[in-house]
């Protein structure tokens, strides 16, 4: 860790926060003080750091996932569940050129930047001036500013400011249908992928109509419904397969019928099955919304 880096102080899964590492800086935790000059600078990200009262914390690198969990919210943000689907369905990879609007709090932007580095580029458009400036500042602090261009303009009126360069376009704005034409212009001539996030189905319907009008194909809408794994331990009765295998009189047909009997029995009677319900975990963060994907094809 160096002076000026952002780090995540991790006290537990429910308790972590970002700090800016500074010569002479101090951070208070319930385990005591962390002194940046002696406890952080020169240490590796991931180190266990002992605070002044003797308790310890981990100090972690701000991965996009940790940044999403800790960033200062200026808007609603996209969470890692949606982001993982967006990354996969937009076929993002190192070297991809991506256009995004709005930038919002930069949650998705950080994930895109990590995926397309070191040779790709993100053009992100935000019409709220302070949000655009704050995002720029954070990209500089996180030393990814060479991978991203922030534009402060209305994407519905002025588009992305680039033409025929993008492999993918992502929209998270209230009226995405007004920006579909600009998305098409920003995509490469040979085509590419587009995705729009909307919280309600009426917005999705209007966006799909606009996509159709502009000749997009392969339209797909996914609804992301986060849910907690319900972990159970189940004991099944041991199937009685008989001892026919070394019995010369036992035919293949007999063994097959015994196996199928066993599979019928694998639905265990109540007195045999032992269900142990998992302790419910904290709800997975995320909010319901729809992700609509489409392709701009050459023809």
Q: Does 124 bind ligand SAM (CB under 6 A)?
A: no
Query: Between 29 and 207, whose beta carbon lies closer to ligand SAM?
Result: 207
Of the ranges 45-53, 120-128, 226-234, 291-299, which one interacts with ligand SAM (CB under 6 A)? 120-128
CB–CB of 260/218 below 8 Å?
no
- DSSP helix/strand/coil, 113: helix
CB–CB of 26/33 below 8 Å?
yes
Which residue among 126, 167, 194, 195 contacts ligand SAM (CB under 6 A)? 126
Angle between helical axes of 80-89 and 107-116 (0-180°, round to 10): 40
Site for ligand SAM (CB under 6 A): how many residues?
A: 22
Token readout for 152 is 């402060």
Q: What radius of gyration do the chain's Cα atoms show?
A: 26
What is the pattern of x (binds ligand SAM, CB under 6 A) and - over residues 154-173?
xxx---------------xx
Query: Between 4 and 174, whose beta carbon lies closer to ligand SAM?
Result: 174
For 54, 110, 126, 135, the CA distances from 103, given in Å and listed in that order, are 41, 10, 5, 7
CB–CB of 292/206 below 8 Å?
no
Q: Does 76 bind ligand SAM (CB under 6 A)?
A: yes
Q: How far is the CB of 72 from ligand SAM (least distance, A)?
A: 11
Sheet containing 47-50: which strands, arranged edge to edge?
Answer: 15-20, 6-12, 56-60, 47-50
Q: Of 299, 296, 98, which is closest to residue 181 (Cα–Cα)?
A: 296
Query: Between 39 and 126, whose beta carbon lies closer to ligand SAM?
Result: 126
Q: Does 289 bind ligand SAM (CB under 6 A)?
A: no
Q: Does 77 bind ligand SAM (CB under 6 A)?
A: yes
| C-alpha–C-alpha distance, residues 41 and 22, integer Å | 8
Q: Which of residues 179-208 bind ligand SAM (CB under 6 A)?
A: none
User: Is 24 a known ligand-binding residue?
Assistant: no
Residue number of the CB atom closest to ligand SAM: 102
User: Is 260 a known ligand-binding residue?
Assistant: no
CB–CB of 139/150 below 8 Å?
yes
User: Is 107 a known ligand-binding residue?
Assistant: yes
Query: Between 57 and 173, whose beta carbon lies closer to ligand SAM?
Result: 173
Which residue among 7, 41, 78, 112 contacts ligand SAM (CB under 6 A)? 78
Q: Of 187, 190, 150, which is closest to residue 166 (Cα–Cα)?
A: 187
What is the pattern of x (binds ligand SAM, CB under 6 A) and - over residues 79-118?
----------------------xx-xxxxx----------
| C-alpha–C-alpha distance, residues 248 and 90, integer Å | 60
| C-alpha–C-alpha distance, residues 239 and 259, integer Å | 8
Q: Does 125 bind ligand SAM (CB under 6 A)?
A: yes
> Which residues of the chain form contacts with ligand SAM (CB under 6 A)?
75-78, 101-102, 104-108, 125-128, 131, 154-156, 172-174
């Amino acid at each position: 860790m160096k002076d000026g880096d952002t780090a995540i102080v991790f006290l537990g899964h429910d308790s972590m926060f970002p700090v800016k590492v500074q010569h002479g800086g101090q951070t208070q935790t319930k385990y005591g003080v962390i002194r940046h000059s002696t406890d952080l600078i020169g240490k590796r990200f991931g180190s266990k750091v002992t605070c002044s009262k003797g308790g310890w914390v981990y100090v972690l690198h701000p991965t996009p996932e940790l940044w999403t969990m800790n960033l200062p919210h200026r808007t609603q943000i996209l969470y890692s569940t949606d982001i993982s689907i967006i990354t996969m369905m937009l076929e993002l990879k190192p070297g991809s050129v991506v256009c995004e609007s709005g930038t919002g709090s930069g949650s998705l932007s950080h994930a895109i930047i990590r995926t397309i580095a070191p040779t790709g580029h993100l053009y992100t458009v935000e019409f709220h001036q302070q949000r655009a400036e704050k995002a720029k500042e954070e990209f500089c602090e996180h030393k990814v500013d060479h991978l991203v261009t922030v534009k402060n303009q209305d994407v519905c009126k002025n588009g992305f400011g680039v033409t025929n360069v993008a492999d993918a376009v992502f929209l998270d704005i209230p009226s995405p249908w007004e920006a579909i034409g600009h998305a098409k212009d920003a995509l490469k001539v040979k085509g590419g992928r587009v995705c729009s996030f909307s919280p309600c189905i009426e917005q999705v319907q209007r966006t799909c109509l606009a996509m159709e009008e502009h000749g997009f194909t392969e339209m797909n809408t996914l609804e992301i419904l986060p849910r907690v794994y319900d972990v159970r331990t189940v004991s099944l009765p041991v199937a009685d397969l008989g001892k026919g295998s070394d019995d010369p009189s036992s035919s293949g047909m007999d063994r097959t019928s015994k196996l199928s009997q066993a599979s019928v029995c694998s639905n265990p009677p109540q007195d045999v099955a032992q269900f142990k319900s998992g302790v419910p975990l904290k709800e997975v963060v995320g909010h319901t919304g729809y992700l609509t994907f489409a392709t701009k094809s050459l023809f």
